Structure 1
Amino acid sequence: MPEQPQPAETPARQNVTFPSAGATAHGYLALPPSGQGPGVLVIQEWWGLTDHIADVADRLAAEGFVALAPDLYGGSVAHDGDEALRMMKALPVSRGVELLSGAVGHLLSLPEVTSDTVGAVGFCMGGGFVLYLAAVEPRVSAAVPFYGVVQGALPDFSGLRAQILGHYGERDRSIPPKRVDELSATIRRQSGITPDFRLHPAGHAFFNDRRPSHDPDSAADAWQSTVAFLRRQLG
């Protein structure tokens, strides 16, 4: 994962609270112009619930989805790679999945959400959490990891119900194409579902337009296919 500093963003972008994992969670909720639509979770990078993640939620809302970005760090935002790494390691995967499952339940409880299941889109650390969540959460029917970093052991995908569209960079040194192929084979073998993993001519974090690694062409292509995928899966 990249180590370049992230511009200072304080505090995290929050505009909603909801019950999750036995506590009060926070997040950023964006509604479509129509006021209702299918539900989609947006899962943060290792930096936290930044302006970039809130912007992704806003973009999904503009496409007709009800988008919720849960704050997995409880209001903290990292400002450099060392801090982001510490914060990511301080969040156990099991706890993150528990918080995200609560966010799924909250999203489906909203009167504005028209779908019976939700989609999940995540980036870097959040892309890994998309896979962990989809492996155990049957209410997730569409999973979209962007250069998802899996921390530690892979989840057991035998209970996977979601279709998967994944975006990775050909020049991503943290997730080389060989690892993407191995992940695809594991998911297919354990679940019977063949993920649609796409390699883009870019490096890590190519979708983040606030970072030097941003690749506009790859980002635009990944976004277009993601929106179409979510519409197909969620209605």
Structure 2
Amino acid sequence: MNASHVSIPSYDGQSFSAYLSLPPKGTGPGLILIQEIWGVNEHIRAVADQYAMDGYVVLAPDIFWRQKPGVDLQYTEADTKFAYQYMTNLDAPNTVRDLQSAAQALRERPEVTGKIASLGFCMGGRLSYALAATGAVDGAVCYYGGGIQNNLEQAPAIQAPILFHYAELDDHIPPTAVAAVQAAFAGRSNAQFHVYPGVGHGFNCWSRPLYNQRAAALARGRTLQWLAENLG
């Protein structure tokens, strides 16, 4: 893969790192990939490379840099405790501003030849939703975004296409939360929802026990079709 770490200027005069993965042809639409709580770890970098192989210029920014740059954790019990601490201490408004900076930096890269979208998992799914509400991206994908149901006041601001993936047996996001998000977008043609039966939270991550190959493949296929239709 043609991948590297690049520096992104922040809105307040600092800078932070992001993992950049380029497609085989070198150019394509842009994708902001937003991490889970374990940082821009081996799994997230592999997902970035996966979408780069599909022709997207993928940028995975370091979300936790204001707490500790370069967080790269595994899915162990010990590392997960640290991951939850980083998530708990996250400054959400600053993080969304950092994501806006990352989106702008991605748009300005010479390799990007079209629109850009965001795609996030879990905490990253919620941040993908929040980024879409700022208008900084041309579309957003939210995999089991915990907490979106608590931020439905942002829904009217989201005019770009948005795709939601939820797990039927998610122990972090109850069915009532999914229904609330669906209700907030009722009658709007820009929102698409998929609920995957019989699977739990984190079904897309092959490094976690709840990984489900069929659901992950189905969601990825739907995401690629959605990206192709909305980003070109």
Whole-angstrom distance in 1 between the partners of 2:81 and 2:230: 37
CA RMSD of superposed structures (Å): 1.8
Whole-angstrom distance in 2 between the partners of 1:130 and 1:71: 14
How big is the shift at 1:149? 1.1
Summarize the Cα distance change of 1:149–1:18 in structure 2 as closer, same or farther, 3 Å threshold. same
Tell me, yes or no, if the aligned pair for 1:31 and 1:67 is still in contact at 8 Å: yes
**Does residue 160 of structure 1 match 2:150?**
no
Q: Which residue of 1 aligns with 2:24?
A: 33
Residue pairs, 1:45-84, within 5 angstroms: 45-74=36-65, 75-79=70-74, 80-84=79-83
Runs of 5+ in structure 1 lacking a partner? 1-12
Tell me, yes or no, if the aligned pair for 2:39 and 2:71 is still in contact at 8 Å: yes
How big is the shift at 1:87? 0.3
Residue pairs, 1:112-191, within 5 angstroms: 112-115=111-114, 117-136=115-134, 138-150=135-147, 153-154=150-151, 155-188=153-186
Whole-angstrom distance in 2 between the partners of 1:228 and 1:59: 15
Tell me, yes or no, if the aligned pair for 2:204 and 2:212 is still in contact at 8 Å: yes
Whole-angstrom distance in 1 between the partners of 2:230 and 2:111: 18
Tell me, yes or no, if the aligned pair for 2:42 and 2:72 is still in contact at 8 Å: no
- 1:169-227 Cα deviation digits (max 9, x unpaired): 111111122211111212347xx455211111210000000111100000000001101
Number of aligned residue pairs: 219
Q: Which residue of 1 aligns with 2:91?
A: 92
TM-score (normalised: structure 2):
0.89
How big is the shift at 1:151? 6.9
TM-score (normalised: structure 1):
0.88
Summarize the Cα distance change of 1:188–1:95 in structure 2 as closer, same or farther, 3 Å threshold. farther
Q: Which runs of 4+ in 1 moved over 6 A?
A: none
Q: Match of 2:49, as an amino acid?
A: D
Identity of aligned residues (%): 37
Whole-angstrom distance in 2 between the partners of 1:99 and 1:199: 30
Summarize the Cα distance change of 1:168–1:153 in structure 2 as closer, same or farther, 3 Å threshold. closer
